[in-house]
Homo-oligomer: A and B are copies of this chain.
């Protein structure tokens, strides 16, 4: 007999089972598109800094290599946060209400990859715009009015 069953049996030996158990569908239920937004702001900021980098500044090449690396990591965080929202938070009923859901997330993931590949303020801004759209849908499904804000406007 498996440990789980034996342990529960052991517990039941002492206390009767409660009558109902809420279904837990996510690890903690704390979702907030702000995580993706902050990382996307970092991607945009690093893109701008890379484009503006002054080649004659001391340590310019050290700076260039690490900025690319930071941009890469932040875009990766964006992709991870988006995947969690898409795969874990959103449910079939949300898809019915927002049939464009899959397309928005797919485009946002592709924009995050493009923002890694390119040094383009336009692409990084487009990524942020798509996260803005996700922010709007997300809070609408929660029936909460949460303003879109930027840490680094």
Contact = CB atoms under 8 A, between A and B. Distances in A.
Nearest to A81: B38
Given A57-B21, A64-B3, A80-B80, A38 B34 contact: yes
A54 B21 CA distance: 7
A148 interface: no
Interface in A68-108: 68-70, 72, 74, 79-80, 83, 86-88, 102-103, 106
B11 A56 contact: yes
Interface of A, secondary structure class, is: helix
Copy tally for this chain in the complex stands at 6
Given A41-B30, A151-B32, A14 B6 contact: yes
A137 interface: no
Contact of A15 (B6, B32, B63): B6
B116 A53 contact: no
B56 A117 contact: no
A42 B125 CA distance: 29
Contacts of A15: 1, 6, 9, 55
A152 B55 contact: no
Given A68-B65, A79-B83, A117-B25, A38 B30 contact: yes
Nearest first, the 9 A-B pairs at minimum CB distance are: A87-B109, A3-B55, A17-B56, A32-B151, A65-B68, A102-B102, A21-B57, A28-B45, A83-B83
